[in-house]
A and B are shown apart, each in its own frame.
Chain A
Amino acid sequence: MAHPLEAAAGPAARARLGGGGLPAWAAVLGGFGALWLWGRGVAPWAFDYPRALVLPARRWIGAATRWLLNEADFGLFTFTDATRFIASVIDLPYRLALGALSGGFPAIGLAPMGWVGVVALAALIGHRAGGLRLATLVAACFAFLAVFGQWTSAMVTLASILVAVPLGVAGGLALGLAGHRWLWFARAIEPILDLMQTIPVFAYLVPILILFGFGPTAAVVATLIYAMPPMTRVTMLALARVPDDIRDLGRMIGCTRRQMTWRVMLPSAKDRLMVGVNQVIMLSLNMVIIASMIGAGGLGFDVLSALRRLDFGTGLEAGLAIVALAIALDRLSQAFAERAALPLAPAAGRGPVARHPYLAGALATILAAGLLAALMPAAQTYPEALRVTTGPFWSDLVAWINVNYFDSLEAMKNALLLNLLIPFKRFLAGLPWLGVAGLLAFAGWRLGGARLALIAGGLAVLIAVVDLWEEAMVTVYLCGISVAIAMLIGLPLGILAAEREGLWRWLRLTIDTLQTLPSFVYLMPAVMLFRVGDFTAMLAVVAYSVAPAIRYTVLGLQGVDPRLVEAGRAMGCTRRQILMHIRLRLALPEILLGLNQTIMFALSMLVITALVGTRDLGQEVYIALTKADPGRGLVAGLAVAFIAIIADRLIQAAAARARARLGLAAGGPREHA
C-alpha cells in the first residue's frame, strides 16, 4: 500500500512547504525592502531595465507580418491569397444579411425586409423560443431600435453577428471535437486558448487590420477569433461530461465514428453546448462593438465617434440601443438553450405547413412585410417624423449635472486622485523590476512549487525584457485599485445577499443583465461625469468587474455546509463570529476565485479604457492600432496577458491550497455530524 500512502503524504508535505513560512517571507520581504530603499545607487539596472538588453520583439513581429503579407508563398497560393479567400467567404454572407436586414439589393431591385418585417420576425422567433412573453420583450427591444432612430446602425451590427455566430459556433465545435478525439490536440490548443482568452482584444485587432484591411470583414474575423475559444472549451467540456454509459451504449450497438459523433455524443451534450452558443452570441456582440475601430461600423462606431466628440447624447442613445440588442439576443439564446433541455412531443399534423408552423410563419412574415413595405414606405423605413430622440435630454442632463455639481464631483475626484491613486501609482513606479519579479517567483514557489515560481517570475522578467515595465506598472496600479474597490463593494453586498433570498434574486438579475452589456457601454456614463483620465477609467473598470465579486461571494457563502453553521450556533457564537470565523473562512476558496475573475474582468475592461486616455499597456495597444503597428500592439497585448496569467495562476494555487487546508480542517466536525 505504498502508493496511497505517498498520495496522502503529498498535500501534507505541500502544506508544510507553505505553513510556518513566516520567517522565509520576512526574509524575502526584508531583502526586497532593502533593494527598494538602498539599491538604486548600487544596482540601477534593477530599477531601469538596461536599454542595450531590450529584446526587439516588436521589430521582429513587424518584420514577420510584412514577410507574411509580401513574400509568404505556400507553393499553390500565397498568404495574401489565403486571407483574400477567407475574406470572400465571409464577405458574401455578410452582404446577404445586411441587404436583407436594411440595405436591400439595389442591383436586382430587391428591397430590404423593412423594420416592420424584422420586428415581426424577431417576435416570431421569440414566440417559438419562449412563448408570448419573450415575443413581446424581443419585439419591444427591436421596436426601440426603430423608434429611437438607431435602426440602420443596429442592423449593421446585427448583420455582423448573424455571420460571426454560426461560423464561430461551427469553428469552436470542430476544434472541440478534434480536442475530444485526440488528446494531443487538446493539449496543444490548451495554452493557446488560455492566451486567447487573456490577451486583450485590441492586440489582435492590429494584425487583423493589417491582414484583412479596414472594414466589416476584418471585424467579423476578429469577432470569430474572439468567440471561438470559449466555444471550443465548452465543446470539449460538454463532450467529456457525456455519461460513460452513453458512450458505452454507442460502442455496444456498433456505431461508426460518424454515428457516434453526430447521433450519440453531440445530441447528448446539447444542453451544455447551447450554453456555449449563448456565450458565443454575447461575446460576438461585445466584439462587434469594439471592432468598430477596424471598420465594423454600426452601433459601436456611433458610440466611438460620440466618445471622440464628447457628444454624450448621441453616445448614450447608441449605448442604450446596444443594451436593447444585447437583452434581446441574450434572452432569445437562453430561451433556446432551455428549450433544448425539454423536448416537446413531435408535431402530429401532416403536410409541410402543419409540421413546420414557425418556418411557414417566418416565410409568410417575410412575404407580407415585403408587400407591406412596397405599398407603404413607412413600413420600410421608420418615418423620420415619428422618431423619438433622447440625445438632447441626455446632453442637457449632463450639462445640468456639471453646472450644479461640477465642484463637488471635481473635489471628490481630486481628493481620490491626490490621496489614493497618484501615491499608489508613484509607489508602484518606484519598485525595482528585479525585486518584483523575485517576489512573484517566491510567492509562486510557496504556493505551488518550482513550476509556478518559474511562470510567475519568468513572465514578469519577460515584461521588463521587452521594455514595457513602466506601462505594465500603470496597468497594475489601475487594475489593483479598481479590483480593490470592486471587492470592497462586492464583498459586503455578497454577504448581505447571501442570506436574503429576495435581495439576491433581484441583485442577480441586475448583475446578469449588466454582464450581458458590451464593455464599451460602461465608458459612457463615466466619461459624462468625469471626462477623461485615470479616475474615469477606474470607475468604468469597477462597474464592469464588480459582478463576479458579488456573485462568487454569494455562491461561496451559500455553499457553506449548514451543519457547520449550526454547530457554531450551538457553541454560542454570535452572528458576527459565525460570519467571520465559519462562513467567510469556509467560503474563502470561492471568494478567491471571485477575486480572480474580478481581476480578469478588470484587465479586459482596462484595455478598453485606453479610449479615455490612460497611460498604460492598453494605451500602448491602442496607439499601435491607430498606427497599424502589429509588433507594438501584439507585444503590449502579450504583456497584458502575462499579467493576467501571473495573477490567475497565483490565485488559483492559493485557492487550491485554501481548499486543501479547509478539507482537512472541515473533515473533523463533518465526520462527527
Chain B
Amino acid sequence: MSDPALHAAQPLLVCRNVWKLFGPRAAETLAALGPDPAPERLAAAGLVAAVRAVDLAVGEGEICVIMGLSGSGKSTLVRCLSRLVEPTAGEILFRGQNLLAASEAEMTMIRRHKMGMVFQHFALLPHMTVMQNVAFPLEVQGMGRASREERAERMIGLVGLAGREHFYPRQLSGGQQQRVGIARSLAADPELWFLDEPFSALDPLIRREMQDEFIRLQSVVRKTIVFITHDFDEAIRLADRIVIMKDGAVVQAGTPEEIVLNPATAYVREFTRAVPRSKVVRVARVMGAVEGPAPSGSVPARATVAEAAPLFLDGAAALRVLGDDGATVGHLHRDAVVVLMLGG
C-alpha cells in the first residue's frame, strides 16, 4: 500500500528455501536431518550454516537491500543467487528459469549478459587501466576493441570519471576505484545488479557521496538491484525493501517504513531504535483527507515526513499531497508532522 513500486513489480528473481552449508557431506547431512534442522545439530555435524531457509522475491526495477551484521550470511546468499556459491538446497528462479538446473555453460552466459556485480574491495585488476578494467567484461565476451571501448567510455562518463581512462587503479582514491567497479559492473548492461557492501570500505563522508551517486545512477539505468550492507542507515536511505538477516536466516522483510514502525523481533528493534521515524515514514501514511480550502504548497506522497517538514517553515498550516500522477490525494497538516517528529 505504502509503496506502489513493490506491488506493481513482477518478481524478476525468486528464491525459495535456499540453504548453504559449508562443510563435508553438506547435502546428505541436510537431507538426513529433515526440513528444518536445529543449528546445534548442524554444528555438531561439523557444518557451518551460512544461509538457512531463505525465501526472497525481488521485483523488476526494485532495490532490495539485504542487511545484517558481519557473518550473517549476506555475501554467501548473494553469491548463491548467481551460483558463484553452489546452494546446498532450494530453488532459484530468474525470469522463471531455475538457475540450479542450468548447465555451467548456460550459467556463464547468464552471468555475462544478465548479471553484474560490485565488490566490497573493488576487485579491480591491478595491471589494467580504468578503461581496460571497465571494458574487460566485454572483452571476455569477445566484443571487438572499438565497440567495447566506446561502451566503456560511456560507462566511465556515467560514473563521473571521464578523463581518467588511462589511470591505473592504484592511482585512484577508494571512492574513485569503486566508481570504476560500478562502471565495470554496468558495462554489459545487466538486468540484475548485485552490490556486495559496495561502500563499506569507504570513509563515512565518501560513503554518503557515493550513496547519492548511486541514487542518481539508478534513476538513469533503472536496474533490478540486490544491495548488501551492514549499515542500517544506508539500507533505509536506499531501499525499496529491506531484508534483515541474522545467522543465515531472514528475520524480517518489508519496506523501511514497515520495519521501523513494526520491528518483528528484539534484534530488529536494536537497529530501528536510533532511526528517527520522520526519516522513514512517508507523507502518504500520515496525511488527512482532502477537505476544506486547498493549501497553496504541495508535497509528493512518496516523500518522507522529514523531507516535508521544511515546507512548513513559512508558516503554512497544511500542504497538498500529490500522487504519482500529480493529482491531489490528501492534505498534510502541520500537527500530524509535529506529532510524528516529536514522537521520535
A: which residues have CB within 8 A of B? 1-4, 243, 245-246, 248-249, 251-256, 259, 263-264, 267-268, 270, 342-343, 345-346
Given A243-B121, A245-B121, A254:B141 Cβ within 8 A = yes
B140 close to A255 (CB less than 8 A): yes
A264 close to B121 (CB less than 8 A): no
A249 close to B117 (CB less than 8 A): yes
**Most chain A beta-carbon contacts within 10 A, residue among B108, B129, B140, B141:** B140
A264 close to B127 (CB less than 8 A): no
A267 close to B125 (CB less than 8 A): yes
Contacts of A346 in B (CB 8 A): 129, 166
A-B contact pairs, 18 of them (CB 8 A): A2-B40, A3-B44, A243-B123, A245-B120, A245-B123, A248-B79, A251-B84, A252-B115, A253-B111, A253-B136, A253-B188, A256-B140, A263-B136, A267-B125, A267-B126, A267-B128, A268-B127, A346-B129
Contacts of A3 in B (CB 8 A): 43-44, 46
A252 close to B117 (CB less than 8 A): yes
Interface size on B, residues (CB 8 A): 33
Nearest-neighbour CB distance to chain A for B102, whole angstroms, equals 13
Nearest-neighbour CB distance to chain B for A343, whole angstroms, equals 5
B123 close to A253 (CB less than 8 A): no
Given A249-B123, A252-B115, A343:B40 Cβ within 8 A = no
A254 close to B109 (CB less than 8 A): yes
- State A259–B112 Cα separation when bound (angstroms): 13
Q: Which 7 A-B pairs have the closest CB atoms?
A: A254-B112, A245-B123, A253-B137, A245-B119, A249-B123, A254-B108, A267-B127
- State A147–B126 Cα separation when bound (angstroms): 43
B: which residues have CB within 8 A of A? 40, 43-44, 46, 79, 82, 84, 108-109, 111-112, 115-117, 119-123, 125-129, 136-137, 140-141, 166-168, 170, 188
Say which residue of A245, A253, A268 sits within 8 Å of B140 (CB atoms).
A253
Cβ-closest chain A residue relative to B41: A2
Q: Is the interface of A mostly helix, strand, loop or mixed?
A: helix
A345 close to B140 (CB less than 8 A): no
Nearest-neighbour CB distance to chain A for B245, whole angstroms, equals 19
- State A256–B104 Cα separation when bound (angstroms): 11
Nearest-neighbour CB distance to chain B for A55, whole angstroms, equals 40
- State A263–B137 Cα separation when bound (angstroms): 11
Given A2-B43, A3-B44, A251:B111 Cβ within 8 A = yes
Nearest-neighbour CB distance to chain A for B9, whole angstroms, equals 24
B121 close to A343 (CB less than 8 A): no
Contacts of A2 in B (CB 8 A): 40, 43-44
Say which residue of B79, B112, B166 sits within 8 Å of A253 (CB atoms).
B112
- State A503–B74 Cα separation when bound (angstroms): 50
Q: A243-B121, A251-B84, A263-B136 known; 7 other A-B pairs, CB under 8 Å?
A: A246-B125, A253-B111, A253-B140, A259-B140, A268-B127, A343-B127, A343-B170
- State A263–B120 Cα separation when bound (angstroms): 21
**Most chain B beta-carbon contacts within 10 A, residue among A245, A268, A270, A346:** A245
A249 close to B44 (CB less than 8 A): no
Nearest-neighbour CB distance to chain B for A285, whole angstroms, equals 29
Contacts of B112 in A (CB 8 A): 253-254
B43 close to A1 (CB less than 8 A): yes
- State A264–B133 Cα separation when bound (angstroms): 11
A248 close to B123 (CB less than 8 A): yes
A252 close to B111 (CB less than 8 A): yes
Contacts of B129 in A (CB 8 A): 346
- State A263–B139 Cα separation when bound (angstroms): 11
B84 close to A268 (CB less than 8 A): no
Contacts of A248 in B (CB 8 A): 79, 84, 117, 119, 123
B140 close to A254 (CB less than 8 A): yes
Nearest-neighbour CB distance to chain A for B225, whole angstroms, equals 15
Cβ-closest chain A residue relative to B111: A254
Nearest-neighbour CB distance to chain B for A352, whole angstroms, equals 19
Cβ-closest chain A residue relative to B138: A253
- State A181–B279 Cα separation when bound (angstroms): 51
